Structures are given as C-alpha cells and as structure tokens.
C-alpha cells in the first residue's frame, strides 16, 4: 500500500469519527505527476447521521498553481525587504 493510500485511509477514519475532514498535501495524478491539493471528505449517513454509513463525498481541488504563486509572492516580499534594508544601511 502506498503512503498516499495509507494517509487516505486515516483521513476516512477521521471523517467517520468527526463528521468530516479537510486536509492539504501532495497527491499523485492519474498521469503520475504530483499536485498540491486540498481534500474534503464527508461521510454520507443513511438518515441524518444515523447508521448505516452509505458512503463518502470527496472533493479534491488542485491548488498547485495557488501554492506556486504564494511561494513566489513570499520570495518577492523577502527580496523587497532585503532591498529596503540595504537602502537604509547606505543612508547612514
């Protein structure tokens, strides 16, 4: 069993115990490439939370581009702060 499948199994257990679960992490696409995704798992009960469990609703959102943009924004903020520090140091 892959580590991704083991993690998904524990996520399902949390969803059953708590009503739902939301996690973020790396996922493997069907083509074998990796993506950063947010995953929401909600158990579907027979009658308003009563047993038996009918199944799960799972929503996976690919956040790879958002994560890349966030990292780039942080990098640029660090460069800007470094430039401001150098400008202040050269003034003194």
In the chain (92 residues long), the average pLDDT of successive 10-residue segments reads: 55 74 91 94 78 87 94 95 82 72
**Predicted pLDDT of residue 62:** 95
Q: b or e along 19-57 (b: 16 or more beta carbons within 10 Å of the residue's beta carbon)? A: eebeeeeebeeeeeeeebbbbebebeeeeeeeeeeeeee
Q: Output the pLDDT for position 1.
A: 42
User: CA 8, 65, 72: angle at the middle one, nearest 5?
Assistant: 120
CATH hierarchy code of domain 3-91? 3.30.450.20
pLDDT score recorded for residue 9 = 66
Its pTM stands at: 0.59
* pLDDT on residue 10: 76
């Amino acid at each position: 069993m892959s580590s991704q499948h083991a993690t998904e199994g524990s996520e399902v257990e949390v969803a059953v115990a708590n009503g739902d679960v939301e996690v973020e992490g790396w996922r493997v696409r069907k083509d074998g490439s990796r993506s950063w995704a947010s995953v929401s798992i909600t158990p579907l009960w027979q009658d308003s939370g009563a047993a038996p469990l009918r199944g799960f609703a799972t929503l996976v959102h690919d956040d790879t581009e958002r994560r890349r943009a966030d990292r780039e924004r942080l990098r640029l903020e660090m460069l800007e702060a470094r430039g401001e520090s150098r400008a202040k140091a050269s003034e003194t």
